[in-house]
Structure 1
Amino acid sequence: MYAILKKDIQTFFSSTIGYLVIAVFLIVNGLFLWVFQGDFNVFNYGFAELSSYFRLAPWVLLFLIPAVTMRSIAEERKQGTLELLLTKPISSMQLILGKYFGALSLIVIAILPTLVYVWTIYALGNPTGNLDLGVILTSYIGMLLLASTFVAIGLFASSVTQNQLVAFIIAVLICFLMFYGFDGISSQLINESSFNLSFFGLQYHYDSLGRGVLDTRDLIYFISITVLFIALTHFNIKRYTN
């Protein structure tokens, strides 16, 4: 597993992919938060907090992570190297986990520089330091859990097809439906079931962590969805190689 993880990370940074992913994430978030006028602009928000960043980041990750994962397995299948990899002393699950943690590591590296935002808001507060660090901490935890789920979905989409573009579209569609779909449907309902339906969506649990409460139900939810899509990816690979 470690060999696959190391190989994927080296692949990301030996080409422009890794640098491009980090640059796109930082530039898009930076422009909307600090430059462009609108609902996400920190200066227009009127409070020393990063809630606008944590509302914006999931939508950036929703497109960025599928772009990272779309080639993970689809490319191996297209080039015929998937069977070759599995002839090595490595199981299909180790292969999946290696690619999973490789892609997740790249996203974590992209997120880390945004900690500068915390220092900036801390300095801009009136008085200086007037910042709820507990909310920011749980919001970052929520973002990492959301990213881990998106990576698992992206790997599943990449295992479905040999076409990278198709894998990207499938991953974006599933991520969108899982993140916003349940809340979107719930907003159209007027009975009590709307609340129960939104509970099954990623956004509900992401927003819950963003309130500063580290609820085990949210952690279990994200881990369960991640494990589910990793298991589905494993099933697809076993079906393809058998």
Structure 2
Amino acid sequence: MYAVFKRELFSLLNSLMAYITIGVFLLASGLLLWVFPDTSILEYGYVELTGFFSLAPFLFMFLIPAVTMRSFAEERREGTYILLASRPLTDWQIIMAKYCACLVLVLLALIPTLVYYYSVYKLGMPVGNIDTGAVIGSYLGLLLLGSSFVGIGIFASSITKNQVIAFAVAVFICFVTYSGFDALSKIFAMRYLESVFLAISVNEHYQSISRGVLDTRDLVYFISFVLFFLGLTRLVIGGRKW
């Protein structure tokens, strides 16, 4: 499994798409946080990173599928997945290796954004006037959100040979799970379905962790969410192999 993980990670790092994705994420988040007047901290006059953590999920919604779309689709299109499947590896080991490689890339994209926290920490009056606990919780929530989107992207890549279709399917599922269920909960407000849609909404659990309160229910939700889509990937791959 480690060999497949290393191969997949090096393949991502050697591709131009990975650097474009990370660069676009950092550039877009930097412009939204410091330059654009509607979202700029300098214009707002209050030192906080709420704007970054509110906008980052929508950037992830497009950038993570761009990274994961090649995971299985490219291997199936080029016929290299047959060689990979013939090795003494289980389907779960192959899936987890690809999943972990993409997750490492998401983590590498998040690490440079710590500069934003340091800048805001220094700009505060007095210095350090920022809720560090909430920032840590928001980063943890963003990492869990990214891991969920990676699971969706891996699943979307497993159902087709076309990377563009895999990207489009992943973006659609990410949007529905993040924003769609919230919209449905408002439509069915004051009914029992509201609590159901909120319970399965990714945004609801992400906002809960972003408040700086680490609830085991949110952790269980994200772990179950990832395992659900990886399980679907296992069914798709296993069924095709059979």
TM above 0.5: yes
Task: Tell me if the contact between 1:32 and 1:41 (Cα under 8 Å) persists in the aligned partners.
Answer: yes
- Corresponding residue of 1:76: 75
Within 5 A, what are the aligned runs for 1:156-167? 156-167=155-166
Unpaired runs of at least 5, structure 1: none
Unpaired runs of at least 5, structure 2: none
Cα distance, 1:224 vs structure 2: 0.3
15-24 or 54-63: bigger deviation = 15-24
Task: Give the 3-state SS of the residue equivalent to 1:68 in structure 2.
Answer: helix
**What amino acid sits opposite 1:227 in the alignment?**
L
- Corresponding residue of 1:186: 185
Cα distance, 1:29 vs structure 2: 0.4
Number of matched pairs: 241
Task: Tell me if the contact between 1:107 and 1:147 (Cα under 8 Å) persists in the aligned partners.
Answer: yes
Cα distance, 1:192 vs structure 2: 4.0
Within 5 A, what are the aligned runs for 1:79-98? 79-98=78-97
- Corresponding residue of 1:137: 136
- For residues 185-230 of structure 1, what are the alpha-carbon distances to aligned partners after superposition, in whole Å with 9 as ceiling and x for unaligned? 1122331432442221100000001111001110000000000000
**What amino acid sits opposite 1:178 in the alignment?**
T
- Corresponding residue of 2:219: 219
**What amino acid sits opposite 1:59 in the alignment?**
F
Question: Counterparts of 1:118 and 1:171 in 2: how far apart (Å)?
Answer: 30
- Corresponding residue of 2:29: 29
The list of structure 1 runs, each at least 4 consecutive aligned residues, that deviate by more than 6 angstroms after superposition, is: none
**What amino acid sits opposite 1:190 in the alignment?**
A
- Corresponding residue of 2:118: 119
**What amino acid sits opposite 2:240 in the alignment?**
Y
Cα distance, 1:169 vs structure 2: 0.5
**What amino acid sits opposite 2:230 in the alignment?**
I
TM-score scaled to structure 1, two decimals? 0.97
TM-score scaled to structure 2, two decimals? 0.97
Q: Does 1:44 align with 2:48?
A: no
